[in-house]
Amino acid sequence: MHLKLFVLSASSVVLWLAPLATLNKTLDIHKALQGVSLGAAIACAVAAGNIAREQAEQNDIEEIKTRAITADVVDEIATSAYISQQQRQQEAELILASPSDEVEANRQALEAIYSESLQDNTSASEHPDYLMYLEICKSREAGKSITWIVENILKMGGRKFSDGKVKLQTLLNKFEEEK
């Protein structure tokens, strides 16, 4: 298209100037040729002008399209960022609006799901002595003495009492370290 435009422009100028400069105005045939040449030159110049105008309009449209696409992308990014922010704000407001014990429960549940300590606890709970350890903890919280715990929970009274004390200490050390 550009080549056509340049050829038409150049030919219009050549068809305008060359016959006027070279041909004799007194001869009828030359005069006729000049007229034809000038008419053709006008046609070439108008055609080239039309092509150039179409190209200029297309360039303007492309520029407008590019600007519109850029504005659309920017708007989309801004909207998604705004929505994301709104969602986070709503979630935070919901958490704040719920009762405190529920928040604590949610927090503990989340901790249970995501923290590695839960995995350790899970492995500890699968241990056969874990239930015994829980009973020991409850008894200690209830204020029971070590002797009572050894005799009634570990069932190691009498001659096995010293072994029972060692076992108790081992259990406590084991599960409290894992905690």
Partner 1 sequence: MRAMYLANYFVAGCIAFSLLGWVASLHPIAFRAVLCFLAAIAIAWGLSWLLDFSLSKLLKISVADLQALLISGLAMLLIGLGVFLCT
Q: Please state, in angstroms and rounded to a whole number, the distance separating the CA atoms of residues 13 and 31.
A: 18
Q: How far is the CB of 37 from partner 1 (least distance, A)?
A: 10
Which residues are CB-contacts of 87 (< 8 A; sequence separation ≥ 6)?
none
Q: CB-wise, 67 or 138, nearer to partner 1?
A: 67
Phi, psi of 160 (to 5 degrees): -85, 5
Q: How far is the CB of 15 from partner 1 (least distance, A)?
A: 8
* 69: its two tokens: 């696409």
Q: How far is the CB of 68 from partner 1 (least distance, A)?
A: 21
Q: CB-wise, 48 or 156, nearer to partner 1?
A: 48
Q: How far is the CB of 70 from partner 1 (least distance, A)?
A: 22
Helices (H), 23-129: 28-97, 100-114, 116-125
Q: How far is the CB of 11 from partner 1 (least distance, A)?
A: 11
User: What sign does the CA torsion over 145, 151, 154, 156 have?
Assistant: positive
Q: CB-wise, 56 or 77, nearer to partner 1?
A: 56
Q: Which residues bind partner 1 (CB under 8 A)?
A: 5, 8-9, 12-13, 16-17, 20-21, 25, 31, 34-35, 38-39, 41-42, 45-46, 48-53, 55-56, 59
Which residue in 51, 75, 71 sits closest to 63, CA to CA?
A: 71
- By CB atoms closer than 10 A (0-12, 13-18, 19+), residue 8 is buried
Q: CB-wise, 46 or 131, nearer to partner 1?
A: 46
Q: CB-wise, 55 or 119, nearer to partner 1?
A: 55
